[in-house]
Amino acid sequence: MTQAAFYNSKAWRRLSRAFLTSQSYLCERCGKPADIAHHKTHLNSRNIADPAISLNAALLESLCIECHNTEHYGTGGAILQGLEFTAEGDIRKGQL
């Protein structure tokens, strides 16, 4: 299963919504509104099909987009300047 297929799956969308609801849609790091149910364990081709990892709420963290970007790319940003990730994990031009 590809990551795109997983993140578009009904099971993930349901878990993600339920998890963010359980966290009151608050970022666990900064307290801002959360947009993303972040996997604490990076998903890859070996573990994405294992529901004990990919669909385990205990391995999730609710994050705002800024904290999610910092988690993956640090404050210096490995992503090109002016771009950001959406809640769905897509890249878009940042808000000015």
How many residues can be counted in the chain?
A: 96
The better pLDDT of the pair 54, 87 is held by: 54
Contact 55, 15 (CB under 8 A): yes
pLDDT at 81: 62
Q: Phi and psi for 93 in degrees, rounded to 5?
A: -65, 135
Q: Enter the pTM of the model.
A: 0.74
Residue 48 region by backbone torsions, left for phi larger than 0, else alpha for psi between -120 and 50, else beta: alpha
Q: Which domain holds residue 60?
A: 3-93
Dig out the tokens for 79 from the structure: 């992503």
- As for how many domains the chain has, the answer is 1
Secondary structure of the chain: what % helix, strand, coil (to 5)?
Answer: 35, 15, 50
For 31-86, the pLDDT digits (tens) are 999 999 999 998 888 999 999 999 999 999 999 999 998 888 775 444 556 677 67
